[in-house]
Structure 1
Amino acid sequence: MSRRVLWVGVALLAVFATGCGADSKSSGGSSVAENAAPQQRAAQPTGAQKQQDNSGQQNQSAESVQQQERQLVRTATVDLRSDDVLRSISDIKAKAQQVGGFAGQESSTQSRGSVTVRVPSNELDGVVRSLEDYGDVTRSEVRSEDVTDQLVDVEARIATQKASVERLRVLFERAGSTAEIAQVEGELTKRQSELESLQRRSESLKGKAALATLTVQVSTTPIAPPAPERTGFGDAFVAGWNALVHVLRLVLVGVGGLLPFVLVLGVPTVAVIFWLRRRKRVTPTVEADA
């Protein structure tokens, strides 16, 4: 009897141990799965995250496109010292033509000269750096003006004006009386002129953005840099005094220019007037004596 009870107890303990082991394994596996699930969920982006990433990429691409499409009007001024002014100016013009530009204004002597060239905007920095091959660069200044907003505004106005012109053309075709034809034709001519003006402005802005302006001053001696602008009471007083001296000088020059005319015309005129007045006074006296 005792043995049966003992074996039954052992069997129950074995079953209980097996059940606990299975529960522990299942609970362990579930805990591991639960621990791994957040990592997998973190590793796998959700739909909102995907949309956010896509929108971020689209914004970045839009910004890069916008930066690439910025319209900049670039200008540069360079002072160059060279022993051979004429040769340096000729080399600068040749460099501009080499990169697809052309030469504009030019004024030169043996000791001093200047030249203005137009080059593609993306070639401006390279051309400015290449000027070191033609002499000593004593001053270099590059400026940029963003005209993108102006160009966008002009293009929008062009589109609106084109639509307006097209509507007026339809009205012109439908006009019946002579008065209506004359009225519509006058308004159509006016708006067509405004459209052409906007188109010329757009082409001008695009041309300035496409071609940069480079002005090079060449001299055998270093060119003094422009004096910085100063503001203050003393500077204002000196500027006013210089302006007064300049005005007085102009007045003296004007008086000097008029003086020959006064001497040549004024003196004989005064003499004739004096003689006529004296004769007029003498004549009544003679008549009274008679």
Structure 2
Amino acid sequence: DDPIAAAGAATQIVADAGGRVSARTEHAAEDGGQASAELTLRIPADAVDGVRADLTDLGTVTETALESSDVSASQRDLTTRITTLRASIARYTDWLGTAAETSDLIELESAISERQTELEGLEAEARDLDDRVAMSTITLSLASEYVPVTTAPENMGDALAIGWNGFVAFWGALLLGIGLSLPWLVLLGVIAVGVVWLVRRSRRTATASVLSTPVAPDPVLFAAPVEPPTPR
């Protein structure tokens, strides 16, 4: 229930197993929020399973992730480089004892110093790698259960205030929506007016064209009168 107290209990569990806490962050609950704590734990490799079992008793486990990596190749490479550098330093040291010229002494001392610096860096890497092999890392995140804060009105005045605030919020949101959509509505209205005007104009043009087309009259045939035959 209390992540801060659980973090203290986790620290004790790790210490009892011969491990240590390399990082710890805590956040107290504020304004109804969640309290939380995060710890980075370094635990002896042979004690990891027992420590994990003890840590699960501190609360409800929601997620677990395991990851392992093989560093044997890196260890062999570091060991070889360290051995080679140590032999090189010993050889240059022997030459330094027999050098007679000042220039040779300066050159040998510079070479020894350069190799000694490189050797110290490799030895630091080897110690870090040995620690990674001997000690496993567990990242523990603790958080309290989120409980939403609800406050019921205590009297009629509070209820009216809540209702009024809701009413104002509703109309405020509605007016805001109208204000945001108004430019688009104006643009759509202009487009609609333009479309209607074009349609009406095209209809008027078509009607005027029909009225102005002349209609040819039907041809009328006239027959010439036939005179009666004259008697002989």
Give the TM-score range, shorter chain: 0.5 to 0.7
Matches for 1:1-290 after TM superposition, within 5 Å: 83-110=1-28, 111-221=35-145
Question: How far 1:121 moved relative to its partner?
Answer: 1.2
Question: How far 1:190 moved relative to its partner?
Answer: 0.6
Distance, in Å, in 2 between the alignment partners of 1:179 and 1:216 is 59
Query: Equivalent residue of 1:213, what SS?
Result: strand
Distance, in Å, in 1 between the alignment partners of 2:45 and 2:110 is 42
Distance, in Å, in 1 between the alignment partners of 2:116 and 2:25 is 41
Deviations 1:115-138 (A, max 9, x none): 111110111122112222110111
TM-score using structure 2 length: 0.58
Question: How far 1:198 moved relative to its partner?
Answer: 1.0
Q: Which runs of 5+ in 1 are unaligned?
A: 1-82, 223-290
Distance, in Å, in 2 between the alignment partners of 1:142 and 1:221 is 24
Distance, in Å, in 1 between the alignment partners of 2:61 and 2:55 is 7
- Contact 1:131-1:137 at 8 Å conserved across structures: no
Distance, in Å, in 1 between the alignment partners of 2:92 and 2:47 is 45
CA RMSD of superposed structures (Å): 1.2
Distance, in Å, in 2 between the alignment partners of 1:123 and 1:186 is 46
Query: Equivalent residue of 1:118, what SS?
Result: strand
Alignment partner, residue 164 of structure 2:
none
State the one-letter code of the partner of 1:184.
Answer: L
Distance, in Å, in 2 between the alignment partners of 1:204 and 1:105 is 17
- Contact 1:88-1:134 at 8 Å conserved across structures: yes
What is the count of residue pairs matched by the alignment? Answer: 140
TM-score using structure 1 length: 0.47
Query: Equivalent residue of 1:100, what SS?
Result: coil
Bigger Cα Rg: 2
Question: How far 1:98 moved relative to its partner?
Answer: 0.2
Alignment partner, residue 244 of structure 1:
none
State the one-letter code of the partner of 2:6.
Answer: S
Query: Equivalent residue of 1:170, what SS?
Result: helix
Which structure is higher in strand share?
1
Query: Equivalent residue of 2:96, what SS?
Result: helix
Deviations 1:158-177 (A, max 9, x none): 11111111100001001001
Distance, in Å, in 2 between the alignment partners of 1:107 and 1:191 is 41
Distance, in Å, in 1 between the alignment partners of 2:89 and 2:42 is 36
Query: Equivalent residue of 1:140, what SS?
Result: coil
Distance, in Å, in 2 between the alignment partners of 1:193 and 1:108 is 40
Q: Which runs of 5+ in 2 are unaligned?
A: 29-34, 147-232
Distance, in Å, in 1 between the alignment partners of 2:84 and 2:11 is 42
Distance, in Å, in 1 between the alignment partners of 2:130 and 2:24 is 24
